[in-house]
Amino acid sequence: MPPSDASPRYLEPLLGVVFDLDGTLVESDHDFVRMRREAVRLAERYGVVPGKLSVTQRIHEIMEIARSELVHQGVPEGQILRLEVDTHAMIDAIELEALPKTEARPGAVPLLKELSGRGFRLGVLTRSSEGFARAALQKAGLAPYFAYLRSRSSPGPAKPSPEALLLILEAMGVPKDRALYVGDHAIDAECATRAGVRFYGVLPPKPEAPGAMTVDRFLAIGAKAVARDLTDLAQHLGLRASAEAGTTAPPA
């Protein structure tokens, strides 16, 4: 869904901040290549013609194309739904394998502590499952800061649909022109810009990884600012959260 205004107006002050999870607030080691490979294998088992899907596509793209292909073939809706259930179950299982090594990204705790202390409403919008997202927040010590969370397990559209972001903002009671979405991936920027919500990019914890976002790539797809890490993000927000000492100070 396109934003209602081609040039959205952003109002001050900010009232709420929504964060992506994996790569933004926490570091984990998801085996995305395996997820994509298994998603393609399942789709082909359900009848998608080999060669229609690629492991280079994002998982939500694989699932969307698979559904479209099966609908075109006249496959019953019940069978398509079974494919989607099986695919989500497979992804959930692979995600949970990454949980033991999942930890807070440096600077996350002091940043969230100061934002919370200043009265910002905080939320998480992620394509991870509900189970992984809540367990990861708990393990990383970030769960107390988030009363609001939307995952791919939540009813309704999932990220990168702009509706997913608008739904969590509605639950938070934050108008979209007083909100900020923070993420480390292109689909985060896509979701925010299509929803008419300002977006700040955070460079990924492994900038050398293939396909990792850069400052130029973020700015080209609509980011209003790009931070090196979460400590730098605090500076962009006018905070002085210290990742090392965990101290805070009022903005200048």
pLDDT, one tens digit per residue, over 134-155 is 999 999 999 999 999 999 999 9
- What per-residue confidence (pLDDT) applies to 212? 85
Residue 23 sits in the same domain as residue 121: yes
In the predicted model, is pLDDT for residue 69 greater than 70? yes
- What per-residue confidence (pLDDT) applies to 210? 73
Confidence of residue 10 (pLDDT cuts 50, 70, 90): low
Residue 71 sits in the same domain as residue 110: no
- What per-residue confidence (pLDDT) applies to 2? 40
What DSSP assignment string belongs to 85-150? HHHHHHHHHHHHHTGGG-EEPTTHHHHHHHHHHTT-EEEEE-SS-HHHHHHHHHHTT-GGG-SEEE
In a domain, 216, yes or no: yes
In a domain, 148, yes or no: yes
In a domain, 7, yes or no: no
Residue 148 sits in the same domain as residue 113: yes
Residue 167 sits in the same domain as residue 73: no
In a domain, 153, yes or no: yes
More confident residue, 181 or 248: 181
Residue 119 sits in the same domain as residue 205: yes
B/e letters for 132-166, b = 16+ CB within 10 Å, e = fewer, are: bbbbbbebbebbebbebbbbbbbeebbbbbbebbb
Confidence of residue 180 (pLDDT cuts 50, 70, 90): very high
Confidence of residue 5 (pLDDT cuts 50, 70, 90): very low
* Domain termination residue (choose one: 97, 114, 148): 97
* Domain termination residue (choose one: 66, 97, 128): 97
From the list 22, 19, 4, the residue with the least C-alpha distance to 180 is 19
The average pLDDT across 237-241 equals 76
Look up the pTM and report it.
0.80
In the predicted model, is pLDDT for residue 50 greater than 90? yes
Check whether the bond before 207 is cis (ω within 30° of 0): no
Domain region containing 167 = 16-28+101-236
Residue 47 sits in the same domain as residue 169: no
Residue 113 sits in the same domain as residue 85: no
The average pLDDT across 155-180 equals 96
Average pLDDT value over all residues in the chain:
89
Residue 207 sits in the same domain as residue 151: yes
Range with the poorest average pLDDT among 137-141, 211-215, 236-240:
236-240
- Domain count for the chain: 2
Q: CATH number of the domain that 150 lies in?
A: 3.40.50.1000
CA distance 21 to 126: 6
Residue 36 sits in the same domain as residue 117: no
More confident residue, 97 or 3: 97
Residue 144 sits in the same domain as residue 178: yes
Confidence of residue 9 (pLDDT cuts 50, 70, 90): low
What DSSP assignment string belongs to 133-201? HHHHHHHTT-GGG-SEEE-TTSSS--TTSHHHHHHHHHHHT--GGGEEEEESSHHHHHHHHHHT-EEEE
More confident residue, 226 or 60: 226
In a domain, 223, yes or no: yes
In a domain, 54, yes or no: yes
In a domain, 201, yes or no: yes
- What per-residue confidence (pLDDT) applies to 146? 97
Residue 56 sits in the same domain as residue 123: no
Residue 75 sits in the same domain as residue 127: no
